[in-house]
Structure 1
């Protein structure tokens, strides 16, 4: 089973994202900030880091960069509601995907499926 580490500081958004991904067959561990995610990345195996960019204590870009040092094969997808940080994320982590808010939960699941070429969307990219 594909394991996703979700870092999202908005409680409602975190719950919705985790529930949608779990219903689609993914194992999700959810935390409310980057500083909570980093020890998990060091201690456990995850296939995807799904992180908000703008968070307190440690932003998603810094989290992804530190995660990449520990787990170079960890895939990264950023979610953000700020257009300006989308460009910053693309420059900092060009191999990462960026999903801009607002988005439909179906779009999130479709993008994750594409990253792992699973589900009904396999082979569409």
Structure 2
């Protein structure tokens, strides 16, 4: 089972995304801020970091940069409602996907599935 680390400071959104991804067959560990994700990245293995960009303490871009240094093969997807930070995320981490809020849960799950399609075809997982 593929493992997702979700960093989202909005509790309702965090619970909503967690439920949708779990129903789609993913194992999800959810935290409310980037600084809470770092210790988990140090001790556990994740296949995807799904992070909001605008969060207190540590924004999602900094979290993704630190996570990529710790786990080179970790995929990253940003979620944000701010167009300006979407551009910054794209410049900082061009290999990451960006999904703009508002989005339908079906779109989120499709994007996450798409990130793993090449691995599933090749039988890596």
For the aligned pair, the TM-score class normalised by the smaller chain equals: over 0.9
What does residue range 1-125 of structure 1 map to in structure 2 within 5 Å? 1-117=1-117
Shift of 1:117: 1.1
SS in 2 for 1:95: coil
Structure 1 residues without counterparts, runs of 5 or longer = none
Measure, in 2, the Cα distance between the counterparts of 1:37 and 1:57: 12
Structure 2 residues without counterparts, runs of 5 or longer = none
SS in 1 for 2:115: helix
SS in 2 for 1:94: coil
Deviations 1:42-81 (A, max 9, x none): 1100000000000000000000000011001100000000
Number of aligned residue pairs: give it.
119
Structure 1 runs of 4+ off > 4 angstroms?
Answer: none
RMSD of equivalent CA atoms: 1.1
Measure, in 2, the Cα distance between the counterparts of 1:36 and 1:48: 16
What is the TM-score with the length of structure 1 in the denominator? 0.93
What is the TM-score with the length of structure 2 in the denominator? 0.93
SS in 2 for 1:117: helix
